[in-house]
Structure formats: C-alpha cells, structure tokens
Amino acid sequence: MSNPYRFLFSPLQIGSVKIKNRIMYAPVCTNLAAPDGTPTDNLIAYLEERARGGAGLIIPGYAFIDDLASKANFNQIGAHKDGMVPKLFRVAEGIHAHGAHTFLQIAHGGRRSQSRIMGQQPVAPSAVEMPGNPELARELTQEEIADIVQAFAQAARRAQMAGFDGVELHGTHGYLIAQFLSPHTNRRTDRYGGDLNGRLTFALEVIAAVRATVGNDFVVGMRLTADDMLGGRGHTLDDTLVMAPKLAGAGLDYLSISIGTGEPGPGATSSHPCYVTPGPLVEMAQAVQKVVDIPVAVVGSILHPDQAEQILAQNAAQIIAMARPLIADPYLPNKAQTGQQDLIRPCIRCNECLNHLRSGRELRCSVNANGGLELRPPGAPASKPKRILVAGGGPAGIEAALLASEAGHWVTLYEASGELGGALIPAGRPGFKQELVRLRAFLINSLQKSGVATKLNTPLTKAEVLAQNPQAVIVATGTTPVHPHVPGNDLAIFTDAIEVLNAKPQPGRKTVVIGGGLVGCETALYLAQAGEHVTLVTRRMQAELVPELPGPNRYYLLQGLSETGVKIIEKADLAAVQAEGAQLLLADQQFTIPADMVVNARGAEAQNELYEELRAALPADVPVILIGDAAGGGDIFFAIHSAAGAVRALAR
C-alpha cells in the first residue's frame, strides 16, 4: 500500500539527531510530576505511550531550572538539581525504547510564577503586572540574571546526563525568555532592555551558556513567540522575523513557533478552540521558516495527518508539533502510516485538557479516557468476562461498548433510532463543530470493527433484558429538551435547539434563542453565521455567558457572537410565545421581540426510566450502571469518562 504521507513520514536531521518522522509531541505540563519535580511512573507511562504511538520526537514539558523562582506549576517536572538525573533518565530511556527521540524543554516562569508555588516573590525583567496573578513580579538585578543564565546551562547539562537528545528553551507563552524579548514586559534601560537588540541579550546569553556547557553534538532548540497577540503593544511577527536569524545564528538547531503571553484575549493560549479555523499559526511559521536555515516547527490545531502533509508539502514548516491530537490519540502517527486514518480518535478542541491543568488537576482528555491514566486503562482485560447489554448508541453508550469489548466482555448495544451517534448528530451540524462529525465517524468505525453486536431501531426494554439474562447493563439513554411551561409553548413558531440544528438555517429569518449556556450561544452563532438575524436572551449578565467553558473557548465564542451581529438581551426571561415573536420579562416590564422563530436552548431532562425499572427488576448481583447525559452529564468529557468508569467498575 502506498504511503499518502510522503513528507510527514520522511526523516529529518535536527542538529546531530535524525528523527524518524516529522511529528513532534509538543510540550505540555501534564501535572503528572511529583510536587518536588520528580517524574512519576504515571508521567513516564504517559510519555512512553506517545512514543509507542509513533511520534518521531517527544518533548516532555516544561522543566523548571532552579530552586529559586523558576517553577510555574505545582506538579511541574524539574531539572533543577543533580538529584533529578536518575529519574529523568527513566523518562529518556522509556521514550527511546519505542524508537523516538526526546528533547527536554527547560523553562523559567518569571512573572508567571507565584510565591505559593516556590515560596518567594516571582521575578521578571521588569515589574509588570501579570493579569490573573495577584503578585507583582520583582525586577531582576543583573547579578540575578547572570545566575539564571547559568541555571539554564546546568539544567541542560542534567538533561544531557540523563540521556536526552537535546533541550528546548522555553521562549514563548509569556515565560521568562519571552518576557525579556517583549517590549510589553521588558521596560529595562540597561543592556538587557531597550531596543530589539537589547531585548535579545538575555536569550543570546542563555543560548551561548547552554551551548558552551553541552557542546555541539547535543541539540539545542527554542520555542519562540511569533506574536504576543497584544495588538502591537508587545512582541510582533515583524520583531520575530528580525530575531529568528540572530537566535539561529547563535547556535540553535531548530525553532518551534507559537504565540501569546498567557494574558486574557487572543494570546491566552495557542490551543485554539473549535471556533477558530484549524492551523491558525501556519502562515507565521512559514514566514519564520523563510528567514532561517534551521528547521521550524509549527503548532496549533493541526488535527489530521492530511493537514500536516499539506503544511510540509508547501514548506511552511519542517516539523509538525502536535499536543492535543496526541493527547486524544497517541497512536495517530502509527494509524496514519498504516492507512487507518478512520480509526484516529480525533481531538475536538474542547480544551478540557487545558481546563484541567489550569485548575491544578492532572491532565485528562474529553475523548480519551486513558489519557493521564495509562497505568490503569479502562479497557484492561477483565478477570471474569461478562455478558453486558448497553442501552443507547450515543457517545457514552458506544464508548462503553467499545471499552467493555476491549476488556473481553460479550457486549450487545441497543439503539432505539436508526442512527448511531446520539447528541453528536445535531451537535456536529455547525461548521465550527466538524470535529464532532469526525468523532462520531470514529466511534461508528470502531464499533463496526469491534466484537460488539449492534442492534439499530431496537430500544432496550425491561422485557428484553430479562429475556437476555445479562450479567450487567449499562444505560446511556440520554436526555430530552426541557420545554418551558409558558403561554404559547405549543405554537409552531416555538421549537428547541436540537430541532433547529437538525434543520437547515434560513438566511434572513429573525430568530430569538432563549438560553445563555453553551447550547444557546453555539446555536445563536451557528444561525448567525448562516445569515439569520439572531437575538440571544439570557437570564445572566452578558459577562456571565457560558461560564462552563475554558477561558480561550469562551473568548472566541463570544467574539464570534459579536462579529456575526448577535444581539444579546441580558437579565431577561421568556414570559410567553406569541405568533409574532417572543414576549420577554425584563425587570418588571414585558415586551415583545418580533421573530419568525423562537428557539428553546435552556436545559435538558435525563431519560433514566429504563435505569429505574431495571434497578427494581434485576437481582442485586447484576449491576445496572447509568452513564452519560442520562446520569446528569451534558458534555463529551462526562460521556466518555462515565463510560470508562462503568467498565472499570465491571472489572472488579
């Protein structure tokens, strides 16, 4: 079989190292390290899984470099003392065992640290406030800067001793090197500040010290900010195109391009959500690749091997850096290379992984229940296989069936309708939710290739369960929309979000959407993008819309509502539906918004009648487990993880 990914799976020389393909697992702080920075068995297993899955280069991220103020996260990996070398060796050894190379990213948090993490005030080039950080960083002295330069060099030495193939200097996302490079955070008037050349001084000194310490046969790269995304107030792409050749000439073997400072807004993260077109940083990386003669890596919503191949074919970059796609499916490289693209578990760009990390929790993934839990996979072989019936062919039901089958159980899945996918079907209608279309296809393809017996147009009933005499039943029967009890709720003008998503938008139609949660806001955006005139009604303040979303997702969703002209009426409620539109209650006043359609997007009710019937009818030794939306979930994360929890419970 011919390989459709000629560029993606070609080797690449990076300094003294030849990687087997162009796929880099981009650095992510997983919160799987111990509080003292020691790599845990969980972290090692997590990284090994990404290497086993076929990535050519693994970047464990990001290691703090000293015992002072460099640490930016409680459970961040450490390269701050020689005592870390033995455990760091296990990281490198485990990755190498699967044919991948690995560079350790080393970093200083600067103003992105806090005293609660390292016990002292954060430091920075200048005392500039970091939004979201209650502490103002202290300006570094020149003597302290010299010590930090040497701390980078010593951290690189430890990585070399531990068997890593190189190091990556963290020079983006508002960490210390990036703070020196940006006029937004570097207000110094000494040789480390001022014009662009002055702001480059610290980075050049770090590169020189690292290179002098590790020699020329050890890879040294840098992750570099292309643009601070601060509207021109910070480091811009024009700056980068001047800096990049100087940095490369100082002794770097590659550059990895990203954006942002971590401050609220478009630079809060390079992990763009589904509302942003995939690959938003490709043009920036291509601009940098044109001005340097070392390989450039591009990151940012590169979700599919087809997309990666196209980027490489047009020489926009030489390395494809993936984080979230390899969190979702560490075997993406192997599956692509062996023609199993239809079995790649897709990243849906929900940023729940990011949400977990920013909440101080271990990394988890909405679509991969194994991510961060590699030492106790839900599909591990069961000691006693069981006959299991699954009710519901949505994401929770399919995932439970797949995992149970993988564990060795005999599984039959029942779906009342003629289609698999459940809530993924309407949820995937908007153009910005196409990753959900891919997720549904993946689940169906996986189901077809599994040992699960699937019955469509066949609702599971109590009678069927009693006839089949199973040893366990998993119930994933979903929800139905809550229909508000207001006058006129039976009029043809009144419908719900699912019905709207399943129908075709009508450009020019005047539509009122009731509900300021995720379903309401996404429905409003979908209809507005299709040319409808949309008014969104919420009981919340406008500033409180979609509080359940991670910050970057919320920013881009609200930006989309603004750009498409969605009118938002806050602190209002639906009082009645009328033939001419929606009658609203705002404070003590009622008024009517003319509309051709009024859409209810306010909540859903769990369908768990079967669960209650089976609990009453089956013996106590036959588990009946409720999962997904029927168990009060409401998102993909809960659907997938409740399914995994059910299968883990059955293994006991």
CATH of the domain at 268: 3.20.20.70
Q: Each residue of 411-425: b (16+ CB within 10 Å) or e?
A: bbbbbbeeebbbbbb
Confirm if 646 and 625 have CB atoms less than 8 A apart. Answer: yes
Do residues 454 and 560 share a domain? Answer: no
Confirm if 69 and 123 have CB atoms less than 8 A apart. Answer: yes
Residue 221: name the closest of 10, 17, 9 by CA: 17
Q: Which two tokens stand for residue 214?
A: 């590790």
Q: What are phi and psi of 185, to 5 degrees?
A: -110, -10
Q: Which of 315, 343, 358 is the last residue of a domain?
A: 358
Residue by residue, DSSP assigns 575-611 as EEEETTEEEEEETTEEEEEE-SEEEE-S-EEE--HHH
The count of domains in the chain is 3
Residue 494: name the closest of 603, 599, 602 by CA: 599
Do residues 327 and 213 share a domain? Answer: yes
The answer to whether residue 373 sits within a structural domain is no
CA quadruple 47, 53, 54, 55: dihedral positive or negative?
negative
Q: Which residue has the tokens 């103003």?
A: 111
| Helix (H) or strand (E) run with residue 86 in it | helix 85-96
Q: How far is CA 15 from CA 21, 56, 316, in A?
A: 15, 15, 20
Q: Which two tokens stand for residue 404?
A: 């149970």
CATH of the domain at 423: 3.40.50.720
Do residues 624 and 515 share a domain? Answer: no
The answer to whether residue 44 sits within a structural domain is yes
Do residues 301 and 191 share a domain? Answer: yes
Q: Give the helix ranges, DSSP H, for 215-293.
A: 237-249, 282-289
Do residues 136 and 247 share a domain? Answer: yes
The answer to whether residue 489 sits within a structural domain is no
Do residues 38 and 102 share a domain? Answer: yes
- Report the predicted TM-score, pTM, of the whole model to 2 decimal places: 0.96
Do residues 570 and 619 share a domain? Answer: no
Q: Which of 358, 373, 396 is the last residue of a domain?
A: 358
pLDDT at site 650: 92
Q: For 462-504, what is each residue's pLDDT tens digit?
A: 999 999 999 999 999 999 988 889 999 999 999 999 999 999 9
pLDDT at site 269: 86
Cα–Cα distance, 506 to 129 (Å, whole number): 47
Confirm if 574 and 514 have CB atoms less than 8 A apart. Answer: yes
Do residues 275 and 423 share a domain? Answer: no
Which segments in the chain show pLDDT lower than 70?
1-2
The answer to whether residue 517 sits within a structural domain is yes
Do residues 616 and 589 share a domain? Answer: no
For residue 296, the cross-strand partners are 255
Q: For 274-308, what is each residue's pLDDT tens digit?
A: 999 999 999 999 999 999 999 999 999 999 999 99
Residues with Cβ within 8 Å of 569's Cβ and at least 6 positions away in sequence, in order, are 535, 536, 537, 538, 584, 586, 593
The answer to whether residue 243 sits within a structural domain is yes
Q: Which of 307, 342, 358 is the last residue of a domain?
A: 358
The answer to whether residue 376 sits within a structural domain is no
Q: For 220-248, what is each residue's pLDDT tens digit?
A: 999 999 999 999 999 999 999 999 999 99
Do residues 190 and 320 share a domain? Answer: yes
Confirm if 221 and 104 have CB atoms less than 8 A apart. Answer: no
Do residues 101 and 241 share a domain? Answer: yes
The answer to whether residue 487 sits within a structural domain is no
Confirm if 78 and 35 have CB atoms less than 8 A apart. Answer: no
Cα–Cα distance, 635 to 517 (Å, whole number): 12
Do residues 111 and 159 share a domain? Answer: yes
Range of the domain at 535: 494-602
Cα–Cα distance, 304 to 347 (Å, whole number): 9
Q: For 131-153, what is each residue's pLDDT tens digit?
A: 988 899 999 999 999 999 999 99
CATH of the domain at 546: 3.50.50.60
